[in-house]
Amino acid sequence: MTPTLDPKDLLIRTLPTPNPYALKFVLNAPFKEEGKATFSSPAEADELPLVRDLFDIDGVRQVHLFQNTLSVTHTGELENDDIDSQVTAVIRSRYPIHNAKFGDAVKLARPRNPNNDPKLELIEEILDRTIRPGLQADGGDIEVLELADNELRIRYQGACGGCPSSSAGTLDAIQGILRNELPSDDLIVVPMMD
């Protein structure tokens, strides 16, 4: 379990993201001590009451955790102010029993480069250095799904999922950077939907 922190000592900062249907919540304590996790249903978060209970809020579609940041993507059924107050209430009430060290018992993103493909390893390194820091600062991330011939399939996570800029400007930037830094310049980046 996460070290005990009195709910009144929690400092929660709500920030907008480029996605009009996502908010980022930054805490003075960890939501996830190592790695990241994305949840698209309450069943996926059964062992994590904080995450599971966020899906009780009208319109919540996805919850993404990374270090001390939690992003909530929603359908727009509620105004951002309503989402903000309800998410903040769930965080305050559930954080004292939240386990920020979760991992093995919870389904996380697939293993990175399970086939030890050197080209995929280079792509991951380029993304870690150039793209992921900006996406993570906005409450999102990117997962590489597979590389087949010259087509790289990715999935946006957190606030990046469904964001208008992720399907245009961000996608162009990812493809441009990878084409510039990889030996072959014919790579096509294709976003996959859930």
pLDDT at 141 over 90: no
Give the separation between CA 57 and CA 87, rounded to whole angstroms. Answer: 8
Q: Which of 148, 191, 193 is nearest to 169 (CA)?
A: 191
Residue ranges of the domains in the chain?
7-97, 118-191
Band of residue 28 on the pLDDT scale cut at 50, 70, 90:
very high
| Confidence class for position 166, pLDDT limits 50, 70, 90 | low
Residue 105 reports pLDDT greater than 50: no
pLDDT at 160 (0 to 100):
79
- Cβ neighbors of 14 (< 8 A, separation 6 or more) are 23, 24, 25, 84, 87, 88
What number does CATH give the domain 118-191? Answer: 3.30.300.130
Give Cα separations from 78 to 53, 73, 135, 139 (angstroms).
Answer: 16, 12, 24, 19
Question: CATH 3.50.50.60: does it fit domain 7-97?
Answer: no
CA dist., res. 189 & res. 84, Å (int): 33
Residue 111 has pLDDT above 80, yes or no: no
User: Which residue did the predictor score with more confidence, 63 or 157?
Assistant: 63
Predicted TM-score of the model (pTM): 0.74
- From 111, 99, 67, 60, select the one nearest 83 (Cα to Cα): 60
